[in-house]
A and B are shown apart, each in its own frame.
Chain A
Amino acid sequence: MRDSHNRVIDHDRVRSSSRPAQLADRGEFPLIEAERRKGRSYLDSASSTQKPARVIDAIKGFYETTYANVHRGIHRLSEQATRAVESARRDVGRFIGAESPEQEVIFCRGVTEGINLVAHAWGNVALSPGDEIVLTTMEHHSNLVPWQLLAQRRGVRLVELQPDDEGCITPEALERVLSPRTKLVGMTHVSNLLGTINDLEAFGAICRGVGAVFLIDGAQALGHMPVDVVRSRCDIYVGSGHKMFGPSGIGFLYGRRKLLETFEPFLGGGDMIEQVFFDRSTYAPLPARLEAGTPNIEGIVGLGETVRYLESIGMQRIRAHDQQLVGLALERLSGLPWLEIYGPRRIDARSGLVAFNVEGVHAHDAGSILDMAGVAVRAGHLCAQPLLRHLGRKSCVRASFALYNGVDDVDRLLAGLDQVAEYFNVSSTQEVSSR
């Protein structure tokens, strides 16, 4: 394991201020600020992020001034609401570098629904028995279970793409598992447990070369680093609003236009049709064809405001901030001999999260003590059971950083871990065993 992160952290910048500081201004995230005043740190943004006042206000304001149903009214409010929704679609498209946002951005509930949509609308028509779908060991259950269900429906084979010892997927490993029957490669942009950032450009080029659909779960990347679906040759990229400082219950599916046009409808109902007869219907063009029913209107408006907020800070700055914090956290956690840390040590290959186990202490016990020490972390299987099995573990603790976290939060995490070790009599001579 290389400790190259030492070289990447800008220590002078860390020292130049007593709290370098969360990127977001104090008070910009009301709940973060309230927790901080109670001496508590929120380090569970990889589960769900807190919301900026700007987004909360935008949703409230929309309800108070603009709300009506969309795409159907002929009255003024409905037109305004429709404009707000379509404007948010362009905002989301711009945020991820889509070429034709008006057709390529489909609103859905989030990553889970987005992937299920693809497994039905594409998988049911494009796949034949014996075709293969490649998925990595580090996928969240939401990028595994929909494909397992499809495999049962269509007689499709799932092929596992494993990470190397450092927790990274290499292009060579991908090439080894590809076959003439590979129809789709599904991959998370960022592992929610290892923190690994997958090199989408390298994998996208390989997939394009063999004609396999390249599908990306963007849940852990959006709101933390720049995303460019065209440059990384993603055919499909799905995201969840609640993990990128936006509302829950809203997310999106980006699909390359030529591919989306081959999708059959997923859910049937209002808004997705052109003409309905008693026994048959014709369908609307994209994106409406894949958006049945009245959508989460205020959620879409909130998501649009969220990406404008993120753009106002700058995704490169946010990425640099996350990297600086996780680098500092890794450096200090690495000094604790009773900690087993997962994922790559090179912080250019790692997002702003770090998962670990305290030797001899179950993740839930560590999580409970950290909670009482004022640190909110995730503890459990993280919806990544296959990866934990691969690591020989059943659960772990995860601390995840975001733009509103600062060095004070790293301090509190370390202080909390000292209490875990003290209370459970963890000594550095014990063997690491959290099983």
Chain B
Amino acid sequence: MNPADVPFADLYRKVIMEHYREPAHRGKLDEPSVVAEGHNPLCGDDVRLELKIETGRVVQAAFTGDGCAISMASTSMLTDLLEGRTIEESLELIERFTRFIKGDRDGIDEHELGDLAALEGVSRFPVRIKCALLPFVSVKNVIAVNRTNGVAPSS
């Protein structure tokens, strides 16, 4: 069976499977600045992202968790992309990918999404969009919570 011929090849593209099998940044940080935890009650997926933030910039990202290929691959890709970004740039990326996966591609250049662009096929599987967004929602929430509490995530 040639993977390109099967209907699920679009959902499970090669780059997604690579991130799933050999995720980037899987593990824990010694002293994370913020910890984002996400849970998808529909399928029992759990993800925990740890970010080290210095002067408003993510300098290191790592994650642990159990989940499907889509959620684990998107978490791996996100940790890849967050490193080096400021909090504002991270929120911008999250906002753009969230629109992208929901099918709203206006003004989005696929190249800036890096490997995340491979998740395009997920758009056509509404029940799986939540899987892809799990780490994004978690990071967005933890940044918002830190801000409301007056804890600037920029220690």
Contacts and interface: CB of A to CB of B under 8 A. Distances in A.
B131 interface: yes
A227 B5 CA distance: 48
Contacts of B8: 368-369, 372, 419, 423
Contacts of A385: 44
Contact size range, B: 20 to 34
B69 A435 contact: no
Nearest to A360: B21
Given A362-B69, A368-B125, A435-B66, A395 B6 contact: no
Nearest to B68: A362
A379 to B, nearest CB: 7
Interface string B6-35: 111001100000000000000000000000
Interface in A337-364: 361-364
A395 B43 contact: yes
Nearest to B12: A423
22 contacts: A362-B68, A363-B43, A364-B68, A364-B70, A364-B131, A365-B12, A365-B68, A368-B128, A369-B8, A372-B8, A372-B11, A381-B41, A388-B44, A394-B44, A394-B45, A395-B43, A419-B1, A419-B6, A423-B3, A423-B8, A423-B12, A435-B66
Contacts, number: 54
Contacts of A388: 44
Contacts of B7: 372
Contacts of B12: 365, 369, 423
Interface of B: 1, 3, 6-8, 11-12, 41-46, 66-70, 125, 128, 131
Contact size range, A: 20 to 34
Contacts of B46: 394
A380 interface: yes
Interface string A378-409: 01110001001000001100000000000000
B66 A394 contact: yes
Contacts of A364: 43, 68, 70, 128, 131
B66 A380 contact: no
A422 interface: yes
**Interface-centre pick from A365, A372, A423, A435 (highest chain B CB count, 10 A):** A365
